[in-house]
Structure 1
Amino acid sequence: MSTRWLSIAPGSRPCRRRRSDEAKAMAMTTHPARESVAQMVRRDDTAGVARLVPEAPLSDPDLWAALRAAVASACTDDRVHALVLVLGARAGAGQLLTLEGAPALSGLADVIENCDKPVVAAMSGLVADEAFALAVAAHYRVMASDARLHTRATAQGLIPAGGLTQRLPRLSGAGVALDLLRDGATFDAPAADAAGLVDAVAGRGEDAATSAAIRFAHACIAEGVGPRRTRHRDDGMRDPAAFGQAIGAARAASGPAGLMAGARVVDCVEMAQFLPLGTGLAYEAEAAQECRASEDVTGLRHLISARSGLRAAVPRAADAPDHAAILLPAGAVVPDALVAALLGGGLHVTLIAPDVATLRAGFAAVAERQEAAVRSGAMTARLRDAGWARLGAAHGAHELGAQGLVVVAEAALAEGDTETLAELQAAMPAHGAVAVLLPAEARAGALAPLLDRAVRPATVMGLAADTAAPPRGFELMLTPRTADAAHGGFQALAERLGCTAVPARGAFISGALLTALEGAVAHLIGAGTAPAHVAAVLDDWGLSEAAPATDAARGGEGQGSRREVRNGLLAALANAGAHLLADGTAARPGDIDLVAVDRLGFAAGRGGPMHLADRAGVMVLRAFLRRWADEAPALWAPAPLWDDLFRHARQLSEFEAG
């Protein structure tokens, strides 16, 4: 077990920094706490150390009150000389977007930091959002080797709460703080250790982190070491030039999806260098209130609701597959971005091809994809090497065991490839899935030849995914024969990869949206609309690359206004979505918005075309459609769904399939 010494505070004795690999916990006598607190927080005292364990998710403001009372009680208990705050699986990761209690969370963090006795945070699992804020407010931090640090608030259009924008830069500097708070990076234990965010790294899991934190607390007691408050730390601010350069680089970048919160997080982190903690917290609170009132939050709330609705509606296997095979016909191009994502999700991936040249080209493409990720900082060399070790090759199914997922790179398979697929299907587990990569414009007929020859057609579905960039979301084209078990297996995989997988029937949602968008853009520009107006609307929606017809004509004169262009493009997209809902291709309006955001790049803060249409109202949308219906009926002739909603005085969000 390696050890290092840390200076805790000026004039204090040093506290030994310890690393533990599942070492046995000390033999200690435990007695119940003298004062009881709400059942949401469990407290037990061990030889002068009070261990506080939240028994409810930290997203619950009631827990904050209970935890605040527990911390205050322990801080004033003469028998307690140090506190251990357990931030593990029970605490969970909250959804800050659904809460309005940021001041209460900030108050709890202040109580923790102001405690006159050492407070040690024991971190395990995903330490995100509220749990992260409380860990940073603690005086010392012990992290499990498999724990991760992350925040999601900025991606939801909000400022990370609990004082994170003020305390984190004091510990790590502006660069690390912005990576975590603005860009949503995830730090594992080695990265957190290198950034100076933890005082010790323990073994795996909550028990190891808690045991190490208790030992750390006892060492502080034995050596007479008191609190080390984050408000007095300046480790991350000792190089003002580097701090300023990180701020400048962040301002030059666009931030997550162009959301207001990204820019305001940069402002808050910058103020941490100049303001005392109390004033900085007030600045953070003001910025948070500004973001909560923005249009971004409305759109992001809708997307959260849409993801919840999708999750509740689709089947999901208990376990995601651990092994995947990529079936490559001779000369096929390997979907290297998808392979890299599967490797990043911890899967063992095997490339199967009948010839060495195809396999060699596939390995080279995956290697270049991973190297580019390392160069950009999106992946560490350690993760690259771990993923590469799980990548294999084979010339047939007889060389492999059971594969939970088979990705077929092309729908048209030669006779030998069909035999290989049959062998793979025969060995599949019950929730195994065969996903056939298809272009967005494909229809169900593209799967017909393969279905006719498949030994288990119930496992087959179409798959649309980014092949040139890491996938943010998947689309599944289900057939009448696709079984829930296979669908559920892929849904479990998507969840493991942190992606959505939106199912559709007979076609892909993205294909219909792209057709409508490109057709509307071409019609408007052909009718004399100023290309600059079209480009401005697409840029605001994040869709400039989805309609390349505008790239060659961003300048120039023309007629119309941006408002009119926006109305026309929105009407075309929403009308395409209405047709998808009416014919059963899509099950819910929210599914269409998820595809628009996760697959096409529609700005998350706008919520998607169906959300914007719902905000405009059915009557207004019908008026937009009628404005252009005679010019291009295929795009703007109102779908019957609009009249049906209007007759029944219902909103689009109230649509129910069937």
Structure 2
Amino acid sequence: MKQAPKHPVRLERQGSIALIVIENPPVNALGGAVRRGIAAALSAAEANPLVTAIVICANGRTFPAGADIREFNQPAQEPGLGQLCTMIETCSKPVVAALHGTALGGGLELAMGAHFRIASTDARVGLPEINLGILPGAGGTQRLPRLVGAELAMDMMLAGAPVSAGIAAEMGLIDRVTGGDLREAAVAFARELSMPHPTAEQRGQFSDANAYMAATKARRAELKQTGQASRAALKIIDCVEAALLVPIETGLEMERAAFEECLRSPESQGMRHAFFAERAAAKFPEDAPPRDISRIGIVGGGMMGAGIAIACLQRGFDVTLVEQGESGVNTALERIGTHYERAIAKGRLSEAQGAAALTHLQLTTKLDTLGDADVIIEAVGEDEELKLRILKEIGDQARQGAVLATNTSYLDLMRLAQATGRPNDTVGLHFFAPAQVNKLVEVAVHDDADASAVSTAQALVKRLGKVAVRAKVSSGVGAGYIGNRVLEAYRLAADILLEEGATPQQIDTAMRGFGFKMGPYQVADMSGLDIAHARRQSSPRDADARYVEIADKIVAQGWLGQKTHRGYYVYPEGARDGVPNGDVLKLIAAHRAENGITEQSFTEAEIRDTLLLTMVNAGAQLLTEGVAARPGDVDTVMIHGFGYPRSRGGPMFEADTTTPALIMRRLEALQAQAPNLWTPAPLLRELARERRKFADLN
């Protein structure tokens, strides 16, 4: 990584125009040294009688991409970013911000403190603070409404997504866009200026106060109605209202107080942990350079294979998809075509973009067409003999140096890799459904995998815009990787609660109340009960482990979930939301009677605590075995793969709100009911003995 220069800000001059140049790689984060450098350069330029205007710009790949969030938990350093933005805004000489790359968060707030903004055509700007459970804290909530109005300001801050320079210019956020040399254009723009134009003094967007207030009221009501009224979201709306109602000095004070409140909140702490955990997960120990990737081969055009193909096409890869027989090819084409038709109908793509993407797709029944693929992903059904046969054929057809991958997570990766005849080039790439949407991919690494093959797999995941998490697999250890191991434990614990007296609706309600969008039995109905049933039947079972037969009995009735309109819930024709299935409740009651189980009652808190304890223990076991490298990796998988509420940081982060010793005692109280599930993992015992927490392992 390029090291930051000794002085991250320098002052230059082109005639009468001063240039404040930021150089703090990799993303020019606005840490204390950078803020002090900008403040010093600004003061010097303002005091210089030869300077008529000032340009703030940056070297490297981007204008400042935000504040340095590592400083959030440290003592404040002067000047704060808010102070710096006010210094820029009150400068007596015109100040132009020249934006390129991604001007996000504090970087965009810095730019809004300037009097004018110019951007390169490929620049993107945004205020993504809500993704960390906070709001802009350096004037963003006060200056953005002055530039673009309440509606667009709330859109930007509540969505947290960046917009292009062209759209920002249409909104009124950027004054000029240039396709030429940005710095030259910024200097030329500055030469035209004679007077400052402070954002604080712009009130054109406040001309219709009634419409402005109606917009904030409607947005607040919408957030509450849709269940999106987080602390940060409501504070953003409060501050946007304040921009109209109070002087900017008061508005800035309100914004800062709201920022500090959100920063201290459990939601922000969880979301910031998730942010850093994702970045830590990206640090694989393999340091070999990745191999070149331009064409992807995929074998299997089912829901998963088609989803992977779409994910690759969306990122500009050439894709060869192999299916068995013409009917298989036609079905795969229909799946992929339907995706693009829906995307076009929803306005996400133009017809031309959809057609262009499909020109990069080759569908065939012939495996020998994979000879020019750089990465080949096997995505056939979870049948070991089928996968072994297909992987052998792939190994025979692939060119030397191609990386081969299997999408399994349950089967023996070492055995599958050996089947290819080139285990060094073979890894696991476990995409999560739907693959074209879900951001998570587990990269499974076995003992014989070459470092460059692993680096290539990781590079592919990154280029697909997804989050890669490494799972280490050795002989006899690591089946299920990270996500499915935790999920299986979670589902078994839920099934035990069901067997002991809880209802599917109770358990689902408890987990939705915790923050999951769906409870485990709603998810099971949506996925199809036959899928999990087939996996259970094909997997070896420990005779001494507790096994709950309720799901098998439901499948035996032909109730497979949404696809048959009956599962744990009943689904009227066309409905995706079900009502409790009385027949399933009777089946469960009969099952208890047959097995001599006395029905117990559980509170929602007891249900949540039991399921969370189970996830934590499963995660600790994965860390004990070395399948997961750090607790944050488990959290990242659970957030992206299974919808664990991001504001809670993940199960391992949540566990640190108590102590390993207390977690152990609670597990030991449950252990006799299911030793295979609730025996405390060795790592928990170690942490309890050493009085450490999971965070110490990150």
- Establish whether TM, by shorter chain, passes 0.5: yes
The separation in 1 between residues aligned to 2:308 and 2:218, in whole angstroms, is 34
Counterpart of 2:286, as a letter, is P
Counterpart pick for 2:159 among 173, 176, 183: 183
Q: Which residue of 1 aligns with 2:636?
A: 594
Structure 1: which amino acid aligns with 2:253? Answer: A
State which of 94, 97, 101 in structure 1 corresponds to 2:69. 97
Counterparts of 1:135 and 1:216, CA distance in 2: 15
1:528 aligns with 2:504: no
CA distance in 2, matches of 1:257, 1:622: 35
| 2:312 counterpart residue number | 342
Equivalent position amino acid for 1:46 in 2? Q
Identical aligned residues as a percent: 27
**Counterpart in the other structure of 1:13:** none
- Give yes or no for contact 1:296–1:606 (8 Å, CA) kept in 2: yes
Task: Indicate whether 1:491 and 2:533 are aligned.
Answer: no
Q: How many residues align?
A: 604
Structure 2 residue aligned with 1:309: 280
The residue type equivalent to 1:436 in the other structure is T
Aligned CA distance change for structure 1 residues 49 and 491 (closer, same or farther; 3 Å): same
* Structure-2 change in CA distance of 1:380 and 1:236 (3 Å): farther
1:152 paired residue among 128, 146, 157: 128
Structure 1 354/569 Cα, relative in aligned 2: closer, same or farther at 3 Å?
closer
Please, which of 607, 612, 631 is the counterpart of residue 654 of structure 2? 612
- Kindly indicate whether residue 516 of structure 2 is the aligned counterpart of residue 543 of structure 1: yes
Give the match for residue 35 of structure 1: none
CA pair 509-107 structure 1, distance change in 2 beyond 3 A: same
- Aligned equivalent of 1:41, options 2, 9, 12: 9
8 Å Cα contact 2:429-2:441 kept in structure 1:
no
Contact 1:170–1:235 (CA<8 Å) still a contact in 2?
yes
Query: Residue 340 of structure 2 contacts residue 354 of structure 2 at CA under 8 Å; is this kept in 1?
Result: no
Q: Which residue of 2 aligns with 1:573?
A: 615
Where do 1:317-328 residues align within 5 Å? 318=289, 322-328=293-299
Shift of 1:271: 2.8
Q: Give a deviation string over 1:266-311, Cα, whole Å, max 9, x none.
A: 3322332333322221111111011011112222333344334333
Of residues 217, 231, 241 in structure 2, which corresponds to 1:260?
Answer: 231
Q: 1:635 to 1:397 in 2, by over 3 A?
A: closer
Q: 2:407 aligns with which of 418, 433, 437?
A: 437
1:403 equivalent in structure 2? 373
Q: TM-score, normalised by structure 2?
A: 0.77
Pairs within 5 Å for 1:485-524: 485-504=452-471, 505=473, 506-507=478-479, 508-524=481-497
The partner residue of 2:681 within 618, 633, 639 is 639
2:139 matched residue in structure 1: 163
Provide, for residues 602-657 of structure 1, a one-character-per-residue CA deviation record: whole Å limited to 9, x for no partner. Answer: 1112111112223211111012112222223332232333333333333333459x
Pairwise CA distance, 1:466: 2.5
Paired letter, 1:41: V
Residues 276, 618 of structure 1: CA spacing in aligned structure 2 closer, same or farther, 3 A cutoff?
same
5+ residue gaps, structure 2: 1-5, 523-567, 570-578, 586-598
In structure 1, list runs of 5 or more residues that go unmatched: 1-37
Checking the alignment, whether the CA contact within 8 Å between 2:376 and 2:404 is kept in structure 1 is yes
Tell me by how many angstroms 1:115 deviates.
1.9
The CA deviation at 1:554 is 11
Give the Cα–Cα distance (whole angstroms) in 2 for the partners of residues 534 and 354 of structure 1.
41
TM-score by length of 1: 0.82
User: 2: CA distance between counterparts of 1:452 and 1:646?
Assistant: 43
Matched residue, 1:29:
none
Question: In the alignment, residue 463 of structure 1 is paired with which amino acid?
Answer: H
Contact 1:521-1:569 at 8 Å conserved across structures: yes
User: What is the DSSP-based 3-state SS (H/G/I as helix, E as strand, rest coil) of the residue aligned with 1:467?
Assistant: coil
**Per-residue Cα deviation, 1:490-520 (whole angstroms, up to 9, x for no partner):** 2223333443211222322111211122222
Preserved contact between residue 319 and residue 492 of structure 1 (Cα < 8 Å): yes
Cα distance, 1:492–1:121 mapped onto 2, change above 3 Å: same
Offset at residue 470 of structure 1 (A): 1.0
Corresponding letter in the other structure for 1:460: V
- Tell me if the contact between 1:328 and 1:334 (Cα under 8 Å) persists in the aligned partners: no
Give, as a single letter, the amino acid of the residue that structure 1 aligns with 2:317.
L
- Per the alignment, do residues 319 and 346 of structure 1 end up closer, same or farther by CA in structure 2, a change over 3 Å counting? farther
Describe how 1:238-317 pairs up with structure 2 within 5 A: 241=211, 244-245=214-215, 248-249=218-219, 251-253=221-223, 259-315=230-286
Q: Quick one: structure 1 residues 409 and 183, their matched pair in 2 at CA, closer, same or farther if it must change by over 3 Å? A: same
Once residues 349 and 375 of structure 1 are traced to their aligned partners in structure 2, the CA distance between those partners, rounded to angstroms, is: 24
Residue of structure 2 in register with 1:32 after alignment: none
Q: Is the 8 A contact 2:443 2:458 kept in 1?
A: no
**Shift of residue 397, structure 1, vs aligned partner:** 6.8
1:481 Cα deviation (Å)?
A: 2.5
Cα–Cα, structure 1 residues 648 and 162, in superposed 2: closer, same or farther, change >3 Å?
closer
Q: How does 1:91-240 map to 2 (within 5 A)?
A: 91-94=63-66, 96-100=68-72, 101=76, 104-203=80-179, 208-218=181-191, 220-221=192-193, 224=194, 226-234=195-203, 236-237=205-206
Deviations 1:193-227 (A, max 9, x none): 332222222127xxx22121112122x24xx4x22
Q: Which amino acid aligns with 1:79?
A: L
CA deviation after TM superposition for structure 1 residue 475, in Å: 1.2
Stretch deviating more after TM superposition (86-95 or 184-193):
86-95
Note closer, same or farther for the CA distance 1:400–1:565 as it changes in structure 2 (3 Å cut). Answer: closer
Query: Cα–Cα, structure 1 residues 419 and 652, in superposed 2: closer, same or farther, change >3 Å?
Result: closer
Q: Which amino acid aligns with 2:47?
A: T
Comparing 411-420 with 176-185, greater Cα deviation is found at: 411-420
Cα shift readout 1:209-265 (whole Å, capped 9, x = no counterpart): 2121112122x24xx4x2222223345555653774476246424789874223322
Equivalent residue number for residue 394 of structure 2: 421
Distance 1:631 1:339 in 2: 44
Q: Helix, strand or coil: the match of 2:96?
A: strand
Structure 2 residue 59 is the aligned partner of structure 1 residue 59: no
* Alpha-carbon offset, residue 50 of structure 1: 1.0
Distance across 2 between alignment mates of 1:216 and 1:511: 56
Give the structure 2 partner of residue 17 of structure 1. Answer: none
Question: Does structure 2 retain, via aligned residues, the 8 Å contact 1:346–1:387?
Answer: no
Give, in whole Å, the separation in 1 of the partners of 2:143 and 2:244: 10
Residue 384 (structure 1) shift: 4.0
Equivalent of residue 604 in structure 2, options 538, 562, 572: 562
Distance change (3 Å), C-alpha of 1:344 and 1:82: farther
> In 1, distance between residues paired with 2:648 and 2:165?
35
